[in-house]
Structure 1
Amino acid sequence: MRKALIVGISDYNSRYGSLPGCLNDMQEWRDLLVSTFKFQPDDIRLLANDRATKAEILIRLEWLFSSTDVDSLVFCFAGHGASIRRREYDTGDLLDHMDEALVSYPTSAAEDIQDHLIFDDDLAEIISRQNIELTNKLTLVFDACHAGGMLRDILINVDDAYLPRSIVMPPDVASRELSATALKTRRIGALQGLEPRHVICAAAKDIESAWDARMEDGLRHGAFSYSATRSLMQNPTMTLKELTDITGQKLALKFPQHPQLLGNEERYNLPFTV
């Protein structure tokens, strides 16, 4: 059995900038897994826009890890990313590190920002409750980025503009970083505290944006997803390292982003699905 969860959020309920390409990315990753990697449609779950709340994403992640007899697991996320210094909910104390996060759909304008961010420990908690051995079959694809603070001056209201897939923190939240220096960052998908054997395909370095743009087919996509899905359709047996190298070369012609592999280096020289 092969299972996948694919999330695409183009509309953020007016709280954050829209990303028109994310729904196209969601569909293209789904089509790739079915047509090229022979995933069964019933074994792929999709969450889009207002259905992709934090609660619903976590429920689907529980489903993803609920089986033991699986050959491959894939979690793809196309949407905004973020980097934040969190507060403990019970004490209000600031944590001593930064956290990368995936931005789920905000359920209301008044919702605290932490309530719709998905952190690494959210993923690690689910996996630890399920079957940690499955991590050697897990591939995470994040077409999002975490460099929001450096993207304030980019125009985002033009139809054909390149849109950064990262949010800018409100001033009060951003100021948390100023009270300490040289904070370490906990990367989303690192599964800290476990001994995972998974791999992360990240659309960009942690100081870069992942871009949403109009591509050669006339539609908007994530630049990384557009290039990666087409490369895998052409050569499904390429290794993960070959995928990021080829995708990076294509993106370098037009976009200032560099895809990265993170996680289990032994899997870098294996195909996209194990």
Structure 2
Amino acid sequence: MANRALLIGINAYPGQPLRGCVNDIKDMANFLVTSCNFAEDDIRLLVDARATTDGIYERLGWLLTGLSEGDRVLLHYSGHGTIFSRRNSQGQVIDKQDSICPVDFDWSRERAILASDLQKAFATIPTGVEFVFVSDSCNSGDLSRGMRPFAVKFLVPPADMAWRVETADKKRLPLKTLRSAVHDNCAFLSGCRSDQESADATFANRPNGALTYFLLETLKSETFFRQPLAKVIPRVVSRLKDNHYPQVPQLHGPDQLIALPFLGSKSAPAAAAGPKLPKKKQAKKAKTKK
């Protein structure tokens, strides 16, 4: 049974750089090795200039190809998100989707990785694979909400692209979220609600994403080390609130996945070996504090 992790961290955005994303994935990689029985060869990092659209798709191919029941798979993305609307061949705005932003993202369709693109990629994952997708980013925000003590992980659309999104809003086109990309064998953790912002912050003079920082802090604690994700995430929400971050992470997934520890642990050999998951289970949203 295989372990695989693809960890993507991008600080080097032209015009709207971030600071903590590379630290996020380095910290996650170390945690996987020390606490989740992953080997270094099981983990691939993709950062900054190498985290292009083509580079991300290439590594996704490695991550998702040849999987079988019992494999443990993690996709962790730390970087900007945004909202992207497309036009059809007649020039009409036809949709509104969450998008992650590769380092070469330029607001063209070719350089956007939309929720529908990820949905197509994730559809190949076999039943019984333990797949966790962490998105430390956000898909709403602006640059005019006053002076914050932290940056936000939302790439603000230029005026022409914002017009498309506003047109989609006026047409009442539904938003296709990253959550909609996941399937019944995926636990999906987002940095915040769809109307909130995820923080790129500093802790003890070291930059990190707030979600990743408090997620790892919680997972490393003796109290929550082997607790189910459904119990871990409310603690993460509480720690964010205690430290004055307004974002509320959201956990979605089937019962059998969110009832497991985060990809197992070194002291939980049954989880580390790869659980046998039921063939089908209705996806359910875990309760988090508002």
TM over 0.5: yes
Structure 1 range deviating more: 199-208 or 233-242: 233-242
Q: Show CA shifts across 1:242-265 (max 9, x none).
A: 121000001012101001112324
Between the aligned partners of 2:184 and 2:26, the Cα distance in structure 1 is 28
Distance (Å, rounded) in 2 between the aligned partners of 1:112 and 1:82? 10
Q: Distance in 2 between matches of 1:23 and 1:172?
A: 30
1:24-39 paired onto structure 2 within 5 Å: 24-39=23-38
Q: Determine the structure 2 residue equivalent to 1:126.
A: 121
Q: Paired residue for 1:206?
A: 194
Unaligned runs of 5+ in 1: none
Alignment match of 2:110 (pick from 105, 110, 115): 115
CA-based RMSD of the aligned residues comes to: 2.0
Q: Residues 154, 114 of structure 1: CA spacing in aligned structure 2 closer, same or farther, 3 A cutoff?
A: farther
State the alpha-carbon separation in 2 of the partners of residues 227 and 54 from structure 1. 28
Q: Deviations over 1:212-243 (max 9, x none)?
A: 1111x320111110010121122331111212
The answer for the alignment partner of 1:103 in structure 2 is 101
Deviations 1:159-215 (A, max 9, x none): xx30010011111111123332433111114227xx532110111001000001111
For the 8 Å contact 1:132–1:196, the answer to whether it is kept is no
Quick one: structure 1 residues 43 and 189, their matched pair in 2 at CA, closer, same or farther if it must change by over 3 Å? Answer: farther
TM-aligned CA distance change 1:175 to 1:19, over 3 Å: same
The answer to whether 1:232 aligns with 2:219 is: yes
Indicate conservation of the 8 Å contact 2:67/2:126, yes or no: no
Gaps of 5+ in 2: 264-270, 272-290
Matches of 2:111 and 2:154, distance apart in 1: 14
**2:145 matched residue in structure 1:** 153
CA contact (8 A) 1:25 1:78 kept: yes
Q: TM-score, normalised by structure 1?
A: 0.86
Partner of residue 175 from structure 1, selected from 163, 168, 172:
163
**1:208 is aligned with what amino acid?**
Q
Query: What does residue 59 of structure 1 align with?
Result: 58
CA distance, structure 2, for counterparts of residue 31 and residue 209 of structure 1:
26
Indicate the residue corresponding to 1:86 in structure 2.
Answer: 86
Shift of 1:66: 1.4
Q: Are the structure 2 counterparts of residues 183 and 237 from structure 1 closer, same or farther at C-alpha, using a change threshold of 3 Å?
A: same
Match for residue 187 of structure 1 among 159, 174, 177: 177
